[in-house]
Structure 1
Amino acid sequence: MIEEIMAMAQSLGHVDDSQQAALEALCRAAETEVTGRLRDGVSPEDCGPAFVLGCAWVALAGLAGGQYGGGTEFTAGSVTIREADCVQDRERSAALRLQGETVLGPYLKDRGFLFRGVEG
């Protein structure tokens, strides 16, 4: 299934050749993470195409978190000074992860807030 996840991530993220090794590692990690978060009794196959799509978004979130996303840059001679816009990278990464988790939402264990009944 890793080949399907890689192909989907490449298609969605327009990943260049220099990022292939990182993307493969991130796709494997996403597959492992998402499989571990599935509800009891649910397999990746039960999720259908949502599993591949969700894993691809999670992998792209990891890739986006490690990229230079802009900021200020100037060069003087052979020295380049670059101030990356890390906030933009984090926001993009969080948005991609949320997209993957939203696609997989019906199949994932609850991780968030829990309401309990309180007798009054």
Structure 2
Amino acid sequence: MTEQIIALAIAMGASEDQRAILEPLCAAAERTLAAQLRPGLTPQDCTDAFVVCAAWMALDGLHAAGGGSGVTSFTAGDVSIQTGNGGDTSGLTEQIQRLMAPYLTDDGFYFQGVTG
């Protein structure tokens, strides 16, 4: 499945020149998502969502390894320059969680009654 993830990451914008970095990132993303699957589920049970989310995770790692998207803030007098998202990937993380939600274990907070 790692090859599918790599192929999708390249189709989503990574270059073939970045493959040496992309391969371990895709493998790590695959392991990370697989470890969070509900008991009894395999990556093959949710292939489409799994591959997309793992590719997004790998691209996010590739982005971080490349130093982000350049200048994120610069001010000189009245001139201010900002580019990129400043490394904030919370939107991507939320999208991954929404897409994989039906397949992942629920590790959210919950209340439990206490006998008092």
Q: TM-score of the superposition, structure 2-length normalised?
A: 0.75
- Say if 2:14 and 2:59, in contact at 8 Å, map to a contact too: no
Q: Partner amino acid for 1:88?
A: N
Kept in 1, the 8 Å contact 2:10–2:16? The answer is no
What is the CA–CA distance in structure 1 between the aligned matches of 2:33 and 2:62, rounded to whole Å? Answer: 16
Find the counterpart in structure 2 of residue 103 from structure 1: 99
TM-aligned CA distance change 1:16 to 1:48, over 3 Å: closer
The structure that is strand-richer by fraction is: 1
**Pairwise CA RMSD:** 2.5
Aligned to 1:9: 9
- Greater helix share, structure number: 1
Specify the alignment match of 1:26 in structure 2. 25
SS of 2:4 mapped into structure 1: helix
Query: CA, structure 1 residues 65+94, in 2 after alignment: closer, same or farther (shift >3 Å)?
Result: farther
Unaligned runs of 5+ in 1: 73-84
Residues matched between the structures, number: 106
Gaps of 5+ in 2: 73-81
| Residues in 2 aligned to 1:42 and 1:58: alpha-carbon distance in whole angstroms | 20
